[in-house]
Amino acid sequence: MTAKTPTGKLPHFTVIGTSSMHLQGLVSDGEQLIKDVYEAFRASPRWNKSALLVTFDETGGFHDHVPPPTAPRPDSLTYNAKTPSGRNYTFEFDRLGGRLPTWLISSWSQKGYVEQKGTTSDGSTLSYSASSMLRTLAARVSLGSRSVQHKSGKGCDF
């Protein structure tokens, strides 16, 4: 990545992944990768024509001060386990998942702006989801009926 970015030779859509930022590994390695990619991106001659999207596939072990919202239970199944301290833990699948941190970085981004919800094509407001990036990519490259957007119905693009 960093060898090609300063010359502006990357393809129009490029995915860069780290092996892991899970807590059993060194989270600092993932943070260093993000820093290196960001600095190479900013130094690129394409900085004013590009956007960098940093996202995660799960919430991981990072603390979020906002608890996930409640949701209707899909069935009567529960998950039961013992905590490391020996206490019983039960999850009843009555909550949505945790929020996924996602940063959209570009020269067009408004400084200090945080967006929680987006606007759908019909003008309604909807929370972003893990599929928002895929929906946006599908629309951008015109995948039509072959896309996740076609199959997923309503959703919010970036």
Which residues have C-beta within 8 Å of that of residue 68, sequence separation ≥ 6?
Answer: 95, 96, 97, 98, 99
- Do residues 105 and 80 share a domain? yes
Domain span at 39: 5-114
- Do residues 88 and 154 share a domain? no
- Do residues 81 and 120 share a domain? no
Q: What is the pLDDT of residue 141?
A: 75
- Do residues 132 and 101 share a domain? no
- Do residues 27 and 14 share a domain? yes
Give residue for tokens 């979020």: 64
pLDDT tens digits along 126-155: 777 777 777 777 777 776 665 554 555 555
Q: Is the pLDDT of residue 10 over 90?
A: no
- Do residues 89 and 99 share a domain? yes
Torsional sign, CA 34, 40, 42, 45: negative
Q: Is the pLDDT of residue 26 over 60?
A: yes
- Do residues 68 and 43 share a domain? yes
- Do residues 134 and 106 share a domain? no
Q: What is the pLDDT of residue 87?
A: 93
- Do residues 109 and 121 share a domain? no
Nearest 10 degrees: Cα torsion 92, 95, 21, 1: 140
Ranked by mean pLDDT, which of 19-28, 36-45, 57-66, 97-106 comes out on top? 36-45
Q: Structural domain tally of the chain? A: 2
- Do residues 77 and 127 share a domain? no
pLDDT tens digits along 28-62: 888 888 899 899 999 999 899 988 888 887 766 56
- Do residues 138 and 70 share a domain? no
